[in-house]
Amino acid sequence: MPKDNSADAKTAVLYRMVMPEHTCPYGLKSKDLLERQGYTVEDHHLKTQEETEAFKSEHDVKTTPQIFIDGQRIGGHDDLQVHFGKVDPDDAGLSYTPVIALFSVAALTAVAFTWYAFQTLLNWQTLGWFVSLSMILLGLQKLKDIESFSTMFLNYDLLAKRWVRYGYIYPFIETGAGILMTAMVATWLSAPLALLIGSIGAVSVFKAVYIDKRELKCACVGGDSNVPLGFVSLTENLGMVAMSIVMLILLLA
């Protein structure tokens, strides 16, 4: 058993795999987190697979690293994050970080485009580019693994539930429409496509989240997403709808 550190509340005991061919990344993350929280880390290396298996058997655990504070086992890296309040255990790993990062990049790129084209940071076109670039980046996330995306998409999209192949072509429609909208060409094609998928998406998300009260993950940033389905997903689809309508009005004017 690890020694009792109750006399020193700022000391933690860490057991992690450090082998010639493998150093556990979660062990390194755990050590870093403990040190950033002001703990002196008693760092024990498990240098062979045999040592690792013996440790897991002795403490009746399935994984390493394992952290002990004040003689009490905290658990692994995820448990340590919960212990320090970095993660809400009720969120089950759900996070808006991927969409925040994606939309931030889209916004900054839209500003860069605006500066290049108009020598100003913001104008009416900036918002349009923000939406179209977001569509491209979101489509790219889906194209990385169409199979996983389509599976998650089937959980809530109304058209995909009736026509499964829609989940496979959706990423191509979204990406293609975004590229055309960014270039401001073939509006007669891109705007109706974006209006179609945005409308279906908005209705599907609204029904799943606000009518059926289902707690689902959003496929908006790909099939491996931990983004909750909800307001962000609805806003994304409504943004596509709004931009499509504006572009159609300008086209017909």
Question: Could you report the per-residue pLDDT of 121-155, keeping only the tens digit for each?
Answer: 999 999 999 999 999 999 999 999 999 999 999 99
Residue 84: which CATH number?
3.40.30.10
Question: Do the domain assignments include residue 3?
Answer: no
Same domain, 218 and 164: yes
Q: Are 15 and 66 in contact (CB under 8 A)?
A: yes
| Domain ranges, residue 49 | 11-90
Same domain, 201 and 104: yes
- The whole-number pLDDT of residue 9 equals 59
Where does a domain end: 70, 90, 110? Answer: 90
Query: What's phi and psi for 61, nearest 5 deg?
Result: -125, 160
Same domain, 113 and 232: yes
Same domain, 205 and 142: yes
Contact partners, residue 183, CB within 8 Å, separation at least 6:
none
Local confidence band at 37 (pLDDT 50, 70, 90 cut-offs): very high
Same domain, 20 and 125: no
Same domain, 114 and 195: yes
Same domain, 79 and 47: yes
Where does a domain end: 57, 90, 123? Answer: 90
Overall number of domains in the chain: 2
Q: What is the pTM of this model?
A: 0.76
Q: Are 71 and 5 in contact (CB under 8 A)?
A: yes
Local confidence band at 3 (pLDDT 50, 70, 90 cut-offs): low
Q: Give the tokens for residue 138.
A: 């979101």
Alpha-carbon distance values, 172 to 146, 176, 189, 205, 250 (Å): 10, 6, 14, 20, 25
Same domain, 139 and 248: yes
- The whole-number pLDDT of residue 91 equals 56
Where does a domain end: 50, 74, 90? Answer: 90
Same domain, 156 and 198: yes
Question: Do the domain assignments include residue 2?
Answer: no
- The whole-number pLDDT of residue 193 equals 96
Same domain, 151 and 197: yes
Same domain, 126 and 65: no
Local confidence band at 94 (pLDDT 50, 70, 90 cut-offs): low
Same domain, 112 and 71: no
